[in-house]
Amino acid sequence: MSAREPRGTLRRAVRLLDVDLRRVALATLLGTLALGCAVALAAASAWLIARASQMPPVLQLSVATVAVRAFGIGRGVLRYLERLVSHDVALRGMTNVRTTLYERLAAGRTAALAGVRRGDLLARVGADVDTVGDVVVRGLLPAAVAVCLGVGTVVAMCAFWVPAGLALAGCLLLAGVVAPALAARASRTTERRAADARADLSATALGLLDDAGPLAVAGRASAERATLTAAHARVTAAADAGARPAAAAAAVGQLAVGLAVLAALVTGVPAVGAGLLAPVELAVVVLTPLAAFEATSLLPAAAIQVQRSRAAAARILALLDDAGDPAGPQKQSAATAPTAAGAAPGTSSRGTGHATADLRGDATVSSTADAPPAADVRDAAAADPVLRAGGVTCAWPGGPDVVRGLDVTLRRGRSVAVVGPSGTGKTTTLLSLAGLLPPAAGAVTLDGADVGGLARADVAAAVVAVTEDAHVFGTTVLENLRVARGDVTPDEARATLDRVGLGPWLASLPEGLDTLVGPDARTVSGGERRRLLLARALLAPAPLVLVDEPAEHLDAATADRLVGTLLDEARTGRRGVLLVTHRVSALADVDEVLWLEDGAVAARGSHDDLLARVPGYRVALDSEQGDAGEGEGARSRVGQVGGATHG
């Protein structure tokens, strides 16, 4: 990263803080007055001690005594007020950055977070935002206060003795410019490394906490703890490396203080002998610099904070840039999208014009024919959208190709199943179709427009995806269902839960729909959590539903009934349904089944067609039926044993 680019990065981040300049000015004024009281306290104390040594009448010392008390009290009070105002500015700025970040990610391109680990994302929206906000309190304000206080102190010193004032000015420049420059230069690379190390630590810790059980079973917990320890060691090493330049800069500051005092003595003592400076004034000239450098002592740390905030700003802005500019135009609409992406010309309901929409979902249409208004464009897309994948290669960013040559079309009234053994890329395929993972090749389009470039609100209006790790909030059952649609009534919620087989479960809850399910549904079983997510999807208004492993954590009979419920949505024409699953026993009524094998779509057709010509598909069905038979036999044997026992 060039020297020019980081400065621009920090300026962009400071603009995101959207600070109130009046509050910043007030904080600067209060900080200057607080440290000004410290300098005045040192000067008044020096004068009072030197004058008292001459044994004057006590009344001649009363004003100085009151001044010492006033400056001592004023310093603490003004410092407290400055902290209140400056931290208010910083906290408001952090709130503004987080609000902008959340809004931009929610409304931006759906693939923006595809390559970001959860722990890394947590570090960016948490610690990195705090670090950017700290640039106001720990970076900009100390510099502004140091400039104001330095100028005022030099002017006051020149009023007593000009040579001492000029010497103080030079030493203040040494402590206020050279020392921070050395600290900033030494910490620039260190802070970037520290930011990356903190992100790795956060990601590793979160992964270890989330997967503690599976890691322990697999015997990998010790290895993950070692990785966490290594990440923590990198953070500590980066902090230690940053402490060294800070210490060197602090030493330069202390050297400047000593030089200022020495210069005052060297120039002041002859002046006293020559009658140009009173002995009492010499004490003021010599001792005042000790307090004048209090402001500059904060500048090396401020320079390091600027570098730290710059590195954090780069990471935050990378997220915002990936999400896209909310004022920027959309890519293409259905009418003008390239047919290579799988959109046949003339099939779109959007007319022959083209639409541009920003990331908040606002749209304008420029048309060469009778194109509908922007609102109608979104309504038409939500009413009967067409999701197409043309020549798509699915892969994680930076990883190998997982699935190649994917071609599929989903519309209302159509059902598709993507089937294959574990590890064949079914989940990756679903994420690519939902626009949550950018394809490595080909295109996924919604009414001809690239899904990855559409506003999230536009995609969500047409497509709802149920992934295995979809979040369940730590609130009531009803409020979790209202994530899909805010006006869901209790009767709708009960009916939908009954459709997915959760009617008895709901009846058993102590407070029914108002029962809290706990953070991420940790208080319910895996099967109940899965069906709760499916109920939420069925309540969503989106006409296209993509479901990852609907049968996960369920027994065979319950899983098949649930798949049948989802397929009913397509048979009745209410929705288009795409299932990603490893079970094939309930897919007889699916319009098209895609069989994944060896990183590609090995076969496609109806359920009966694949049974006839794809050995792997037939083996999968036989395996499921065998497992079901064994389960029935086991239950029968248990029943016989129980009957004999009671007999």
Are 209 and 246 spatial neighbours (Cβ–Cβ below 8 Å)?
no
Output the pLDDT for position 521.
65
- Smallest CA-to-CA distance from 492 within 478, 476, 506, 510 is with 478
Which is more confidently placed, 250 or 268?
268
pLDDT at 618 over 70: yes
Q: Give the model confidence (pLDDT) of 56-103 as tens digits.
A: 888 888 888 999 999 999 999 999 999 999 999 999 989 988 888 888
Averaged pLDDT for residues 353-374? 31
pLDDT at 528 over 90: no
pLDDT at 127 over 60: yes
Dist. CA 167–CA 178, nearest whole Å: 16
Dist. CA 355–CA 446, nearest whole Å: 13
pLDDT at 344 over 70: no
Output the pLDDT for position 353.
32
Least confident residue range of 70-79, 181-190, 342-351, 391-400: 342-351
**Structural domain boundaries in the chain:** 20-323, 386-470+540-637
Q: Which of 81-85, 243-247, 447-451, 465-469 has the highest average model confidence (pLDDT)?
A: 81-85
Averaged pLDDT for residues 175-194? 78
Averaged pLDDT for residues 483-510? 90
Query: 365: part of which helix (H) or strand (E)?
Result: strand 363-366
- Fold of domain 386-470+540-637: Rossmann fold (3.40.50)
Q: Give the model confidence (pLDDT) of 466-495 as tens digits.
A: 888 788 888 889 998 998 888 999 999 999
pLDDT at 518 over 80: no
pLDDT at 643 over 50: no
Q: Give the model confidence (pLDDT) of 196-238 as tens digits.
A: 777 778 778 877 877 777 778 778 888 888 888 888 888 888 7
Dist. CA 204–CA 552, nearest whole Å: 27
pLDDT at 365 over 70: no
Output the pLDDT for position 453.
77
Averaged pLDDT for residues 358-363? 31
Dist. CA 38–CA 81, nearest whole Å: 15
- Smallest CA-to-CA distance from 246 within 186, 292, 312 is with 186
pLDDT at 382 over 60: no
**Residue 448 region, left (φ>0) first, then alpha (ψ -120 to 50), else beta?**
left
Which is more confidently placed, 557 or 334?
557
Dist. CA 2–CA 4, nearest whole Å: 5
How far CA 439 is from CA of 114, 323, 392, 404, 424, in Å, comes to 11, 16, 6, 10, 16
Are 552 and 530 spatial neighbours (Cβ–Cβ below 8 Å)?
yes
CATH 3.40.1440.60 fits 20-323, yes or no: no
High-pLDDT (> 90) share of the chain, % = 18
Output the pLDDT for position 592.
92
Cα 178 from chain centre: 36
Q: Give the model confidence (pLDDT) of 279-302 as tens digits.
A: 888 888 888 888 888 888 888 888
Q: Round the average pLDDT of the chain to a whole number and report it.
A: 79
Dist. CA 105–CA 322, nearest whole Å: 9
High-pLDDT (> 70) share of the chain, % = 83
Dist. CA 284–CA 170, nearest whole Å: 18
- Smallest CA-to-CA distance from 576 within 546, 604, 555 is with 546
Order of strands, sheet of 415-419, starting from the edge strand that comes earlier in the sequence: 449-450, 441-446, 386-395, 401-411, 600-605, 592-597, 415-419, 576-581, 544-548, 463-466
Averaged pLDDT for residues 149-159? 91
Averaged pLDDT for residues 572-598? 88
Which is more confidently placed, 239 or 42?
42
Which is more confidently placed, 29 or 239?
29
Output the pLDDT for position 498.
92
Output the pLDDT for position 251.
84
Q: Characterize the bridge pairing of strands 600-605 and 354-357.
A: unpaired
| Both structure tokens of 397 | 């960013």
Locate all alpha helices (DSSP H) within 522-614, ordered by sequence.
Answer: 526-539, 556-571, 607-613
- Name the percent of the chain in helix, strand, coil, to the closest 5: 65, 10, 25
What is the number of other CB atoms lying within 10 angstroms of the CB of residue 422?
8
Averaged pLDDT for residues 518-537? 82
Output the pLDDT for position 111.
60
pLDDT at 562 over 60: yes
Dist. CA 601–CA 393, nearest whole Å: 11
Are 546 and 466 spatial neighbours (Cβ–Cβ below 8 Å)?
yes
Are 562 and 550 spatial neighbours (Cβ–Cβ below 8 Å)?
yes
pLDDT at 391 over 70: yes
Q: Give the model confidence (pLDDT) of 15-70 as tens digits.
A: 888 888 899 999 999 999 999 999 999 999 989 998 898 888 888 888 889 999 99
pLDDT at 367 over 70: no
Output the pLDDT for position 328.
40
Strand, helix or coil at 566? helix
